[in-house]
Amino acid sequence: MEIISHLLAIAGVLVLVLLYNLWRVKTASHSKGMLAPEPLGALPIIGHLHQLRSQNTMARTLAAIADKHGPIFMFRFGMKPALVISSHEAVKECFTTNNRVLAARPMSSQGKYLGYDYAGFGFSSYGSCWSKVRKLAVSELLSDRRLEKLKNMYVSEVDTLIKDLYFVCRSNEHNPVKVVISEWIEGLALNIITKIIARKRYFGYANGGNDGEAARIRKTISEFMYLAGAPNMFDLIPFLRWIDLKGQVKSMKRVAGELDSLIGSWVEEHTARRELKTDEQSHEPDFIDVMLSLIEEDSMFGYPRETIIKATAMTLILGGSETISLNLTWLISLLLNNKHALKRVQEELDLKVGKDRWVEDYDIKDLVYFQATVKESLRLYPPAHLLIPHEAMEDCQVCGYHIPKGARLFVNVWKLHRDPRVWKEPNEFLPERFLSSHASMDASRQHFEFIPFGYGRRSCPGEMFALQVSELTLARLLQGFELITPLDKPVDMNERLGITLARQLP
């Protein structure tokens, strides 16, 4: 009887495979054009998901598939078809010709549970709500006019970081002092963003003893970024949506609740202060002040005003702090592993700025090798190595291939930045390339071969702010300190799984 049961099970699987393949053939035959190539081995229901079982990041795994099938291919994430691209020609067509069509976001458990039920503009789909909220965020926090007003705030935070580090080093003048620089950088990034958003500061030696709360916030944000990037089977296989196999929904609800409690307390403080009309003249209005002034209605696009403010603040805090801290961490790691480049950057600082004053933001434009180093770090380790997926709102064509409505789009920036057709020795750290063959390239979204902050309507709105903070911080660290690793060992450059490209070890 046991043998018969096994045979029946095998027969059932074979029938499912046959029906699945017949459905795919029928779908393809009725399509409106040629479909992009697809790797062999797709299984019923799970598609190609079994091919993603790897310790590598998803970007690296998809890059290996691109090496076999080309820079444009279809991949089945469960029951959801997706176009995966890693060529500048495909990027250009997606974000120029098809910019509007591919501006949507797919529905996801992350958007529902982590994004205030899609109120956060990073998760919300394309439409009036997304457009208005993103415009508010850009104009009132990330515009050139606003950033100029906020310059003193982030410069003072960089000054504090340098002073705190100096006092730690002075505690043992005759020996090198060991610090986990990535933790200091994370604290810097979060202090800058939370001060701009809500006039709050949690990290550092001068934080009023908030070490316990700082550690809790750091842990919550780390969990958020992991959960935001972890694939959920119930998103990819719809009939599993009521089964929380790994407890991911439970974890998302807990983390979202912790962040909501924190940001909600800020909004309540600002609302109370606003009602009492206190503290209006003594400080430059922060982002929550501005949002409370601009959103006068009790609700907006079906969301309470407070929800829109909290969701927008959360998006900016997480996106802004991660972009700054990741960029700086990879930059320092690369320089520590490439001593010749580190020496050349420091020599340029000595020559162009000198040792009698601190480097300022207006000096950066004259530090050409320094800027080339920043670009090369962004090329090798872009913060968004695999852009958050887009979704086609209509049928469209990309490089001659038919993309059906509802298909998802994954842009593999990690692979795009290592295209050997564009980049000589693509896996090597060579800042000099941005002084010669690629001197005209920058991160301003003018070059489809180099998009470290994304492209199109969904690109990172705070890229210039993140660059300004990263460049000033790095320049002052290199000007003020000698950076070395314990026992002069190389930095471990292994990558951590997640929605952003972080180092595995601190």
For 226-281, what is each residue's pLDDT tens digit? 888 887 877 888 777 677 767 888 999 999 999 999 999 999 999 998 888 765 55
Same domain, 128 and 6: no
- Listed in sequence order, the residues at least 6 apart from 505 whose beta carbon sits closer than 8 Å to its beta carbon are 492, 494
Given a cut of 60, whether residue 26 has pLDDT beyond it is: no
Q: Is residue 478 part of a domain?
A: yes
Residue 78 resides in a domain: yes
pLDDT of 83 reads: 98
Give the residue, 181 or 213, on which the prediction is more confident: 181
Taking the C-alpha atoms of residue 268 and residue 247, their distance in angstroms, rounded to an integer, is 31
Residues 145, 245 share a domain: yes
Residue 469 one-letter amino acid:
V
Quick one: 81 and 184 in the same domain? yes
pLDDT class of 449 with cuts at 50, 70, 90: very high
Q: Residue 89 pLDDT more than 90?
A: yes
The CATH number given to whatever domain includes residue 177 is 1.10.630.10
| Average pLDDT of the residues in 478-493 | 92
How many domains does one find in the chain? 2
Residue 17 inside a domain? The answer is: yes
Alpha-helical regions (H) of 237-337? 248-276, 287-294, 305-337
Q: Give bridge partners of residue 386 from the DSSP assignment.
A: 412
Instruction: Please state the rounded mean pLDDT for residues 79-92.
Output: 96
pTM of the predicted protein model: 0.89
What is the rounded average pLDDT of the residues 27-42? 78
Q: Is residue 37 part of a domain?
A: no
Looking at the fold, whether 6 and 114 belong to one and the same domain comes out as no
Q: Does 76 share its domain with 2?
A: no
Beta strands in 151-231 (DSSP E): none
365 and 406 in a common domain: yes
Question: Within this chain, do residues 4 and 54 fall inside the same structural domain, yes or no?
Answer: no
Instruction: Identify the domain containing residue 250 by its residue range.
Output: 46-503
Helix (H) or strand (E) holding 350: helix 339-352
In a shared domain, residues 17 and 56: no
- Between 49-63, 75-89, 211-225, 473-487, the lowest mean confidence (pLDDT) is in 211-225
Per-residue pLDDT tens digits for 286-311: 899 999 998 888 888 889 999 999 99
